A and B are shown apart, each in its own frame.
Chain A
Amino acid sequence: MTTTVERPRAKVPAAQRTPRRPGRFRKHLWSYLFLVPMVLLFGGFTVWPLMASWWYSFFDWDGVGTPSNWVGFANFAEVLRADAFWRAFWHSLVFSLAAIFVELPLALVLAILLNNSWLRFRNLYRLVLFLPVVATTAVIGIVIAILLDPAGGLVNRILLDTGLVDQPVNFLGSTSTALPTLLSIDVWKGFGITLIYWLAALQTVPKELQEAAEIDGAGFWRALRFVTLPVVMPIAIVILLLVFQRSLNTFDLVRAVTEGGPDYATDVVPTYIYRFAFDPSLQAPRYGFASAAGVVFGLLTLVVTLLQAPFLRRRLDGGRR
């Protein structure tokens, strides 16, 4: 038999009652006021362009005046039929895969090393690894192109002088090496920021837990596996998504170094979209088509991200346990 005991309702003093709406609004007015600039900027520069590009994608429009030539889903059909779009999408995806499977684990390993308080000059190492992140991509592109030049570039000179190759390697000019070269530069350039993410995550591991593991006789590897990684797992998922999104949208590096060439071997979706929207060689830009390509790319990104969800949920649950 179950007995239900009703608790007597406590009288809430008038001062503690939830204030009525106008009162609450007035109480937090400053907070709302400070939010206004952010909301305006976010609305103007993110939400509005996003919504507008969906609308424009239904028009054959050159970006001037009001779009009027409604073409329905014709732009979408053209994007989905275009081999060049799918080739660019594949290249974008390869950038993401390289970031997830190369950059992410490498950065974690280095973060674990640099998180060791006994390591001398660790701040210097962190600075050196972070420098490429703050360097301008255009400058990096020019310097890298000079270094990798097959006709007298430093890298090829070293390779030839040491006998590692007998012919200069056309890193950026060959359809087989251009993409791997750009991927390596992208991983190198983005490495520092991923490292900082991991270092921040590692610093959330409570010292007491680590000390307790040590007292219990856990060595480095066991502590890493059973203490550190489970604790950082929820943050790791956020890092994974951030790195995935960043690398999928690689644009400036490709634009600065190869402009998508040679023979579109390094073309990515953002450069594909840019070409149709802004290429001066076009008599009239195709903003409507470029918008449709952007919408399709956005939806595909969403799908790829959602595909990761079950895996991520399992890892997240595992981390919590």
Chain B
Amino acid sequence: MKIRPPLIALTCAVALALSGCNLVGGSADSGDAGKVTVTVALVPDPPGASEFYRQQFDEFEKANPGIAVKVLENPSDQQLNAVELMFQQNNAPDIFRAQDDGMDRMAARGWVAPLDEFVTPEFLKRFPAGSMDPATSGLHRDGKLMSLPLVWGPWSTLRVFLYNEDLLKQSGYDGPPKTWTDLERMATKVTADGKGKYFGYAPTAAKAPAVEMLADTAVPYSVPATGIDFRTGKPATSSPGLVESVELHRRMQAAKVMMPGWESWDGARAFKEFAAGRLAMYATPPWHVAEVRKLAPEIKLGVTGLPVPAAGRGAYLPLSKSFSPLWSMSAKSAHKAESWKVMDFLASESFHNAYYKKFGTLTALDSAWKAEAEKNPDQAAILAVAEETMRRAPNPALASKGGRALTDALAAKPDLKHTDAAVSSIVKNQPFGPAAAQLDRDLQTFLDQTSTELKAKGQEGSAKDLTFAGWDPLKDFRPGG
């Protein structure tokens, strides 16, 4: 067969043209000439967020004709990996959503731009007084502002207890359980009365997060969160309060009190079951309240504080920082000034008010929602629970570099946390104590090893950085006593 070079060239040209290849390069932006495109990588969460963000950015574009906002959406569990890939491909978004540890993961790679050059005193005045202090804001790293918040400070760590007033009444209860003993007794009765149609209680999701939520009322928050008691800097998974929280769930599981099937529930299942009237009580982050109300506007929903141990409260829920990080600007952004305008909009009162109205979430600018929230029974209850059950708590990651290094190291070892052992204990009906003691031994070994490694590298990080000797978890923590 004779091959004609012109034929090959023609074939290649047609193929390249069809595949849209551009051998001479060109701009990826296809927007209007003269417009700067700012790319925002976000998570379409909660449901309806895609349309909400688009509407908001459309309004922003009207007010800022020189800027076009391009939205990139990723599922929440893939957001960090997706943004990391974009950075590695030199195709980073200008602004991205990276929550809590996710922001630190990005900052550790040098991908987060400090925002201090853009921030003005007027901008800071939007936030509650004192909340943007670099030492406690939760948004600063090494004194530099690295992120802007979306939600109200207590929102991330606040936990509430939801109950269906009608279902409790049918079993003869006028109010929610005050103690763990009440909870066990009431849940048992409600499940028995439900006869398989509804159930008294469920531990919220497959990893039984309710264990940690209830334990937060018994032991310092750091024990269920990291395995360490920040009063001593020592492993404390075997603390009686945490062990009893697991044992409480183990007993209820063995007695078939808890709603069956929770072992494979995702994070949204509990509020769906509650809204459908199949679940009478559960502990939860506050955002479930609005979801329940959306699904069942007429349900007799009660929102209260978590039940405490029968012997009395041992700790309050932590307020360890003013805010959780959420919006960050890329250090590689070629349009930092324009990106800041978008971030400024995302931290504006109008945006926060719109977000509150759409999703019922209490946002970082309390002036945008406080008056309305106090008139809304569900939200007023959330505010009351926060006021009553939260106290300032120490945060080693903000207190010292060594504390940051150790908490980062602990976050990378989820197998040293109580979660898997607790679930195993509950579903297999085995005592949690021995597993907790083993976790404490493993945790101590890990801490010693990590401290040694950090020391060898000339870095800080020892048990001292995790110790706040004067802290009383029943009182507001004040740095320096």
User: Do B424 and A263 touch across chains, with their CB atoms under 8 A apart?
Assistant: yes
Partner of B81 from A26, A172, A278, A286 at Cβ < 8 Å: A278
Tally of contact residues, A, Cβ under 8 A: 37
Given known pairs A173-B264, A283-B105, the reply for A259 and B412 (CB within 8 Å) is no
Tally of contact residues, B, Cβ under 8 A: 39
Task: Specify which chain B residues have a CB less than 8 angstroms from the CB of A263 in the assembled complex.
Answer: 263, 420, 423-424, 427-428
Q: What is the distance, in angstroms, from B225's C-beta to the closest C-beta of chain A?
A: 13
Task: Specify which chain A residues have a CB less than 8 angstroms from the CB of B424 in the assembled complex.
Answer: 263
In the complex, B255 has a CB within 8 A of chain A = no
User: Do A151 and B261 touch across chains, with their CB atoms under 8 A apart?
Assistant: yes
Q: What is the distance, in angstroms, from B152's C-beta to the closest C-beta of chain A?
A: 23
In the complex, A303 has a CB within 8 A of chain B = no
In chain B between 176 and 211, which residues have their CB closer than 8 angstroms to a CB of chain A? 196-197, 199, 206
User: Do A283 and B264 touch across chains, with their CB atoms under 8 A apart?
Assistant: no
In chain A between 272 and 292, which residues have their CB closer than 8 angstroms to a CB of chain B? 278-286
In chain A between 80 and 120, which residues have their CB closer than 8 angstroms to a CB of chain B? none
In the complex, the chain B residue whose C-beta lies closest to that of A30 is B1
Partner of B412 from A29, A152, A284 at Cβ < 8 Å: A284
Partner of A170 from B101, B261, B273, B408 at Cβ < 8 Å: B261
The docked-state distance in angstroms from the alpha carbon of A79 to that of B101 is 26
Given known pairs A151-B259, A151-B260, A283-B412, the reply for A261 and B206 (CB within 8 Å) is yes
User: Do B414 and A281 touch across chains, with their CB atoms under 8 A apart?
Assistant: yes
Given known pairs A29-B3, A263-B424, the reply for A168 and B101 (CB within 8 Å) is no
Given known pairs A63-B84, A151-B278, A259-B206, the reply for A282 and B261 (CB within 8 Å) is no
The docked-state distance in angstroms from the alpha carbon of A214 to that of B80 is 66
User: Do B278 and A145 touch across chains, with their CB atoms under 8 A apart?
Assistant: no
Task: Specify which chain A residues have a CB less than 8 angstroms from the CB of B3 in the assembled complex.
Answer: 26, 29-30
User: Do A282 and B414 touch across chains, with their CB atoms under 8 A apart?
Assistant: yes
For A51-69 the 0/1 string (1 means CB < 8 A from B) is 0000000000001110000
Q: What is the distance, in angstroms, from A232's C-beta to the closest C-beta of chain B?
A: 39
The docked-state distance in angstroms from the alpha carbon of A286 to that of B199 is 40
The docked-state distance in angstroms from the alpha carbon of A263 to that of B420 is 7
Task: Specify which chain B residues have a CB less than 8 angstroms from the CB of A173 in the assembled complex.
Answer: 260-264, 427
The docked-state distance in angstroms from the alpha carbon of A30 to that of B273 is 62
Partner of A172 from B77, B79, B87, B264 at Cβ < 8 Å: B264
In the complex, A257 has a CB within 8 A of chain B = yes
In the complex, B411 has a CB within 8 A of chain A = yes
User: Do A172 and B1 touch across chains, with their CB atoms under 8 A apart?
Assistant: no
Q: What is the distance, in angstroms, from A54's C-beta to the closest C-beta of chain B?
A: 20
The contact sample of 11 A-B pairs, CB cut-off 8 A, is A64-B88, A145-B264, A151-B196, A170-B260, A174-B263, A262-B264, A263-B420, A263-B424, A278-B81, A283-B101, A283-B411
